[in-house]
Structure 1
Amino acid sequence: MDLSTASAIHRLRLVSAPEAVSFLLLLVCSVLKRTTDFNAVPVMGAIHGVLFVVFVVLWADAWRRAKWALTTAAWYFVLSVLPFGGFALERRLKRDADDAVVASRARKQDVVGA
């Protein structure tokens, strides 16, 4: 992986945690709407919707750049729609981005050393 791939993964990682938090908050707001007079679902729904659309766009970009297998890309997408999956996805993406940076630096050292 090169640095542009690492950047794409990093951008996806940056939005995956807030998207996961907004999903959990939306679930809480849905429960509160049905059990109390508090109704923040329209606001939280809009926030989560925007974050999810941004996530999907960045997920597609990272999939294209990283050349993930279909099963990997599908698994990453499924994690985004599970209540706590976004946090697991963020940790996995951090590992992928770190591996990409290390590989890029190793290739640069091989080129300079050759």
Structure 2
Amino acid sequence: MEGAVTRYRILAVVVGTLLVLLTIGMVLKYGPTDMPEMVAVVSPLHGFFYMVYLAGAYDLWRRTGWPLSRMAVIVLGGIVPLMTFVVERRIVQDARALGGAKAEASA
């Protein structure tokens, strides 16, 4: 399960960073400056990596056996700016604790 946690963690950081950049780009595009170039570049990248993030999140969710509500929180983490980093921190802690508990139970 550690591999799934690592994949999720990397994808969460990438998606979270791209989402922050996309938010800044949207402010620049619709704010006092008219700079749509940043949004044109970051938006497709975020969309692609968000889809990969969803696959990684599903894999982690399936392996942990968490309730569907936990998966919903993970999904929202890639949509709400800065929430990705908070959710990632909590999910990784919980998954590692669960992985340790499963390892002790099988020993």
User: Which TM-score band (shorter chain)?
Assistant: 0.7 to 0.9
Partner of 1:14: 10
- Closer, same or farther in 2 for the Cα pair 1:64/1:87, shift >3 Å? same
Counterpart of 1:28?
A: 24
Conservation of the 8 A alpha-carbon contact between 1:6 and 1:100: no
Task: Measure the CA separation in 1 of the matches of 2:103 and 2:69.
Answer: 28
Structure 1 residue 98 displacement after superposition: 2.4
Is this contact kept in 2: 1:15–1:55, CA < 8 A? yes
Q: Which runs of 4+ in 1 moved over 6 A?
A: none
What's the CA shift string for 1:57-90, capped at 9, x where partnerless?
Answer: 1111112111111111112212221111101111
Cα distance change on mapping 1:67 and 1:105 into 2, 3 Å: closer
- Alignment RMSD, CA only? 1.8
Gaps of at least 5 residues in structure 2 are none
AA aligned to 2:88 is E
Give secondary structure in 2 for the equivalent of 1:68. coil
**TM (normalized to structure 1)?**
0.79
Identity of matched residues, %: 29
After TM superposition, the structure 1 = structure 2 runs for residues 1-114 of structure 1, keeping only pairs within 5 Å, are 5-34=1-30, 35-38=32-35, 39-107=37-105, 111=107
